[in-house]
Amino acid sequence: MLLQLFKVALVDETVLKDALKVGFSDFEDAVLYQSAKNANIDTIVTRNIKDFKLAQLPVYAPDELLAVLSLL
């Protein structure tokens, strides 16, 4: 069911190289972010919002996303 709701983004060499350039303090978060951008994903859901200050995509905590989805 989750795979019907969410898109899974790839991590490849391009994503890893681009992640080094985005300026995030945490490399794993940079990879997640860059992977989402390269896959044209609309938003990121994480319990670690503070590490995504530089993100140019909407970033939600799980409870925030549930609140947004309940409004639809």
What is the value of pTM for the model shown?
0.81
Structure tokens at 1: 């069911």
Domain range list for the chain = 2-71
CA distance 60 to 49: 7
CA distance 54 to 23: 8
pLDDT for residue 70: 83
pLDDT string in tens for the chain (72-residue length): 778 877 788 999 999 999 999 999 999 999 999 999 999 988 999 999 999 999 999 999 999 988 988 876
